[in-house]
Amino acid sequence: MTDEMTAQLPSAAGRWREQLASWAIPEEILARAPENPWTFPVELFVSRAEAARRQLSYSNHAALVALPEGGTVLDVGCGAGGASMALVSRARLLIGVDSGSEMLAAFAKQAERAGVAADTVEGRWPDVADATPAADVAVCHHVAYNAPDLDAFTLRLTDHARARVVMEMTIGHPQSRLNELWLRFHGVVRPTGPTAMDALAVLREAGLDVRWQQWEEPRPGGFARREDLTGWVRRQLCLPADRQADVDEACGAWIIERDGLYGFPDRPVVTVWWDGSAR
Ligand SMILES: C[S@@+](CC[C@H](N)C(=O)[O-])C[C@H]1O[C@@H](n2cnc3c(N)ncnc32)[C@H](O)[C@@H]1O
């Protein structure tokens, strides 16, 4: 391949951005959506945060070994604290960043229940990075597919961590689980990429010396009521409430119940970690 041809290839960061943009919902379907299809249900992430304190995951271990006793943790896209609540045995302070105020309120409540101090910063990362203090360890679980500018996003995580950054993401795009339903209800073929491997390429291109591990273990948490799970699926599919029974029927067979909570089967997850550069 000539230098000229190589120069024309899109960068890994550019491919990531393009692939994420391909998940935009077709205009005519979005225009008819009765509710916002992109919201995250607070209840689900509260249950994840509660479960995180009972069961340590691979990602939690990767963060704990780098966290000094009495250290500080920055949790970006914290939700209710699914990534950081597992670290309270060593942490003195958790700093939660999230674009959603309800999530931050849930995060503060979880921290209080866990008996650890917490600060919150509301806004989108990396836009709020300058207003956010650095920490010993930065964690960021299940946010990467929401970050079109993944290179800038991860570089600001890097300069906010003194010891280590730990990121966790599903191997495939979280929405790809619903692809079959998009075809069934709308006749629309949804994308399949990007994947966690594309994210790794972006991070390496940004100069980060990343290590990673794929794993598959039960990730506890879910909805207390089955209809709240299928209601979320219906909203993501941009369908009105009167199609609820059709959605229940279409995804009913996939639903699992664990510890009294309803969810979908676990999918492979990737933990990615690298050194921080904050002083
Ligand atoms: C899928 S949830 C994951 C929550 C939590 N990290 C966990 O693993 O349980 C994604 C969270 O990231 C937040 N979020 C998405 N993009 C963000 C961004 N660019 N900056 C800050 N928060 C973001 C959402 O509001 C939501 O609370």
* Ligand 1 geometric centre to CA of 140 (Å): 8
Whose structure tokens read 């650890």? 116
Q: Is the CB of 16 under 6 A from ligand 1?
A: no
Is 169 a pocket residue for ligand 1 (Cβ < 6 Å)? no
Nearest Cα residue to 125 out of 162, 74, 65:
74
Q: What is the pLDDT of residues 13-26, one digit of tens each?
A: 999 999 999 999 99
CA distance 40 to 49: 14
Domain membership flag for residue 234 = no
Q: Whole-angstrom Cα distance, residue 157 to residue 155?
A: 5
Tokens for 32, please give them: 């008819």
Task: Identify whether 151 is part of a domain.
Answer: yes
Alpha helices in 95-146 (DSSP H): 101-114
Phi, psi of 258 (to 5 degrees): -140, 130
Q: Say if residue 169 is exposed, middle or buried (CB neighbours under 10 Å; 0-12, 13-18, 19+).
A: buried
Cβ partners under 8 Å of residue 154, min gap 6: 165, 167, 202, 203, 206, 208
In a domain, 275, yes or no: no
Check pLDDT > 80 for residue 8. no
Say how far apart CA 37 and CA 29 lie, in whole Å.
Answer: 11
* pLDDT tens-digit series, residues 109-154: 999 999 999 999 999 999 999 999 999 999 999 999 999 999 999 9
Read off the pTM: 0.96
pLDDT reading at 233 higher than 90: yes
Evaluate whether residue 67 is within a structural domain.
yes
**Strand 256-258 and strand 161-170: pairing?**
unpaired
pLDDT of the residue at 153: 98
In the chain, % of residues over pLDDT 70: 97
Q: What is the pLDDT of residue 6?
A: 58
| Confidence check: pLDDT of 5 > 70 | no
The average confidence (pLDDT) of the chain is 95
- CB of 78 sitting under 6 A from ligand 1: yes
Ligand 1 atom having least distance to the Cα of 100: 25
Domain count, the chain: 1
Question: Residue 219 pLDDT more than 70?
Answer: yes
What residues contact 253, with CB distance under 8 A and at least 6 apart?
none
Own/partner pairs, 3-10, CB within 8 angstroms, 24+ separation = none
pLDDT for position 53: 86
2 — pLDDT class (breaks 50, 70, 90) = low
User: pLDDT tens digits for 37-96?
Assistant: 999 999 999 999 999 888 899 999 999 999 999 999 999 999 999 999 999 999 999 999
Residue 213: beta bridge partners?
A: 271
Q: What is the Cα gyration radius of the chain?
A: 19
User: Is the beta carbon of 175 within 6 A of some atom in ligand 1?
Assistant: no
In this prediction, residue 256 has a pLDDT band, given cuts at 50, 70 and 90, of: very high
Is residue 154, in this structure, part of any structural domain at all?
yes
Is residue 157 in some structural domain?
yes
pLDDT attached to residue 7: 63
What CA–CA distance (Å, rounded) separates 74 from 87?
11
The single-letter code of the amino acid at 75 is D
Nearest CA residue ID for atom 1, ligand 1:
142
C-alpha span between 35 and 38 (Å, rounded):
9
- Which domain, by its residues, includes 196? 8-178+189-219
Asked whether residue 227 carries a pLDDT value surpassing 70, the answer given is: yes
Provide the percentage of residues in the chain whose pLDDT is more than 90: 92
Q: Is 98 in the pocket of ligand 1 (CB under 6 A)?
A: yes
Residue 58 Cβ inside 6 Å of ligand 1? The answer reads no
Q: Exposure of 99 by Cβ count < 10 A (0-12 exposed, 13-18 middle, 19+ buried)?
A: middle
Residue 99 has pLDDT above 60, yes or no: yes
Query: In this structure, how many other beta carbons lie within 10 angstroms of the beta carbon of residue 243?
Result: 15
pLDDT band at residue 10 using 50, 70 and 90 as cut-offs: confident
C-alpha count within 13 angstroms, C-beta hemisphere, residue 61: 8
Residues 170 and 18: beta-carbon distance below 8 Å? no
Q: Is 250 within the bounds of a domain?
A: no
Average pLDDT, stretch 208-237? 95
CATH code for position 97: 3.40.50.150
Q: What's the pLDDT score for residue 55? A: 86
In a domain, 27, yes or no: yes
